[in-house]
Amino acid sequence: MLTHNGPRVSFKVQLLQAREEAIIQSVSHLLASKGFEAMTVDEVAADVGIAKASLYKHFPSKEDLAAAAMASVMHRAKAYLDSLPPAASPMDNLRAVVAWTMGLKLAGEMPPLPSQNSSLRAALINNTACMNGLSEVSDKLSGWIEAAQTQGSLNPKLPAIAVLYTLYARACDPALEFLKMSELHSDEEIVSLVMSTCFEGLSARAT
C-alpha cells in the first residue's frame, strides 16, 4: 500500500532502523572519545541499552560498527556539501567544509579511524556506502581545490591531492582537543584559530 510519501514502512522496520541509528550514534561518540582500539562492543551495547547478541544481529563485528559510523559521517558530509550555496566561491566552500568538520570533531561526532589497523581498513573498503560516500566527497572537494588554485586562492604549486589530505586531516587535528582542554576559548573560537593556521599559515604577513 502506498502513501503520499512512498511505500509504507512497517512499525517493526521503523524500530530496527531507529535501533541501528542509535547504535551508529553511540559508536561515533565512543570512537571519538576513546578510539577504535579502546572501544568495546560491550560498551556500545550497554550505551544503547540492548543485549550484545542483539547488537550482533545488526553489525557482526567491531570493525563493521566502525565502518557503519564512518559511512554515516560520509552521508552527512555529502548532505552538507550539497547544502552549500551554489554561488559561493570554491575557496568559501572549502573553508565552510573544514569548519563544519572541525565542529563535528569538537562535538564528539567525528570518529577518528586508525589507518594502520588492517582489519578495520578491510571493513571500510568492503563497506560500499562508506567507499561511495568517500569517493563522492573527495571528487567534489578536489574540484573545488583545483578551481581555487586556478583562481589563485590556493597555492597552484601544491598537488591537489596533498591539499585534499591536508584538509581531511583537520577532522582529526589534535590541536582542536588541546585548545579545548585549555578552556581558554569557545568551540567557535577554536575553529577560527585552527582555520587560520590551516588556510593562512603561521608566517607573519606584512600589513
Run of H or E including 3: strand 2-3
- Across the range 110-135, mean pLDDT stands at 81
> C-alpha distances in angstroms, 138 versus 16, 65, 164, 181?
31, 23, 8, 31
- Whether residue 48 contacts residue 85, with contact meaning beta carbons closer than 8 Å, is answered with no
Q: What percent of the chain has pLDDT over 70?
A: 92
Q: Which domains does the chain carry?
A: 60-199 (1.10.357)
Question: In this structure, what DSSP letter does residue 109 have?
Answer: -
Task: Write out pLDDT tens, residues 3-46.
Answer: 455 567 687 778 888 889 999 999 999 988 888 888 999 999 99
Residue with cell 556500545: 44
3-state helix, strand, coil in the chain (%, to 5): 70, 0, 30
Residue 88 pLDDT level (bands cut at 50, 70, 90): very high
- Whether residue 133 contacts residue 74, with contact meaning beta carbons closer than 8 Å, is answered with yes
Task: Write out pLDDT tens, residues 149-203.
Answer: 999 999 999 999 999 999 999 988 889 999 999 999 999 999 999 999 999 888 7
Q: From the CB of residue 140, how many other CB atoms can be counted at a distance below 10 Å?
A: 17
Q: Is the pLDDT of residue 204 over 90?
A: no
- Whether residue 170 contacts residue 98, with contact meaning beta carbons closer than 8 Å, is answered with yes
- Across the range 74-102, mean pLDDT stands at 95
- Whether residue 178 contacts residue 105, with contact meaning beta carbons closer than 8 Å, is answered with no
Q: Does this model's pTM top 0.85? A: no
Distance from chain centroid for Cα 126: 18
